[in-house]
Amino acid sequence: MFEKITIRAINKDGWPIDFQLPPGMQAGPALEWLIEHGYSPANGGGHEVAAAVPETQATGQFAAEYMTATVDDGKAYWKVKGGIYRKFGVIVWPEVLETAGFDVDELNPLKQIDLTGWTAVFNVKENGQPHKVIKLSKE
């Protein structure tokens, strides 16, 4: 079952408006669309998500270097690694990989994927730790 996602944004007149996303839609692309159309995040920052996962408040980014997978019960769980996140990495979901142009079904979870030249944008939990990669883009 999909989690209900609501984004609180501020309209051009300064009023807060809640946008409820349809099941399966990610908050990151929806927030980018809202910003492009004159709304600002309710928390005030340029790219903060005021919804999706309640403990996720802000975003950060790093230069991605490579991606690895852990296979559990036949399913691959991918992590983007680079910079200060080189050791443990930050989880990335298949939807984000597909949006970035990767064919998830063709990725070999037993091989490291080179991401030199890519930037990973991630949500940050209240405790300052990364939550998950929400966007991968090629520089």
**81 and 129 share a domain?**
yes
**75 and 45 share a domain?**
no
Domain span at residue 21? 5-52
**84 and 112 share a domain?**
yes
Name the residue with tokens 């929806």. 30
One pLDDT digit (tens) per residue for the chain, 139 residues:
345 677 777 777 777 787 777 777 777 788 788 888 888 777 644 443 444 434 334 788 999 999 999 999 889 999 999 999 999 999 999 999 999 999 999 999 999 999 999 999 998 877 778 889 999 999 7
pLDDT, position 56? 39
Residue 1, burial from CB neighbour count under 10 angstroms (0-12, 13-18, 19+): exposed
**73 and 121 share a domain?**
yes
**100 and 84 share a domain?**
yes
**33 and 100 share a domain?**
no
CATH code assigned at 95: 2.40.50
**73 and 30 share a domain?**
no
Q: 22-45 pLDDT, tens per residue?
A: 777 777 788 788 888 888 777 644
**73 and 111 share a domain?**
yes
Last residue in a domain, options 16, 32, 52? 52
**73 and 38 share a domain?**
no
pLDDT, position 20? 78
**89 and 21 share a domain?**
no
Name the residue with tokens 């405790």. 127
**16 and 77 share a domain?**
no
pLDDT, position 44? 47
For residue 78, the one-letter residue type is W
Number of domains in the chain: 2
Helical H runs in 1-139? 27-36, 94-99
**122 and 90 share a domain?**
yes
Helical H runs in 4-135? 27-36, 94-99
